[in-house]
Structures are given as C-alpha cells and as structure tokens.
C-alpha cells in the first residue's frame, strides 16, 4: 500500500513539473518577439535589454518587476536551446 501511495505521489509530481515547464516555455515563446524588438533598440546587450524590459513594465515569469542582466542571459539561453534542433 505504501509503495502505491508513493508511486502515485511521484506521478502527480511529474505532472506538476511538466505543467510548470510547459507554462515557462509558453512564457518564453510569447516574450521572444518582444525581446527581438528590444534587442535592436537596446544594443543587444543583456544590460540594455534588462533595462528596457524593466522600463516597459514587462513582468518577469513569477511576477517580479525588475529585470537583471542574468535574468536576460538565462532567458536568451533557454530560448536558443529551444530553437536549436
């Protein structure tokens, strides 16, 4: 019985993790056109993009308001990994 409960909990955990990953992927893909537009006007640097995103009031994935260069680097890295075959 205990093994069944643990196995079911693991399945629910997998489903939750998969759902969170799908939400994150949709957020990144929705932000890609905004990033492309901002990159041109901000010089393409993570610092410039972060400043533009903050200035424009674009919310971070978890609701934060201030973008930092490491946030932008991670976002760009994950977008690149998703688009690379």
CA-CA distance, 20 to 28, in Å (whole number)? 12
Which sequence spans correspond to the domains of the chain?
2-83
Q: What is the pLDDT of residue 70?
A: 97
pTM over 0.85: no
The per-residue pLDDT for range 17-66, each reduced to its tens digit, is: 888 889 999 999 999 999 999 988 878 899 999 999 999 999 998 889 99
pLDDT of residue 12 exceeding 80: no
End-to-end CA distance of the chain, in Å? Answer: 43
Supply 1's token pair.
């019985």
pLDDT of residue 9 exceeding 60: no
């Amino acid at each position: 019985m205990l093994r069944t409960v643990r196995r079911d909990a693991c399945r629910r955990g997998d489903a939750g993790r998969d759902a969170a990953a799908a939400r994150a992927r949709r957020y990144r893909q929705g932000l890609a056109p905004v990033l492309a537009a901002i990159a041109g006007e901000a010089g393409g640097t993570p610092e410039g993009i972060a400043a533009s995103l903050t200035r424009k009031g674009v919310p971070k994935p978890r609701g934060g308001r201030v973008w930092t260069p490491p946030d932008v680097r991670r976002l760009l890295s994950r977008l690149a990994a998703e688009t690379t075959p």
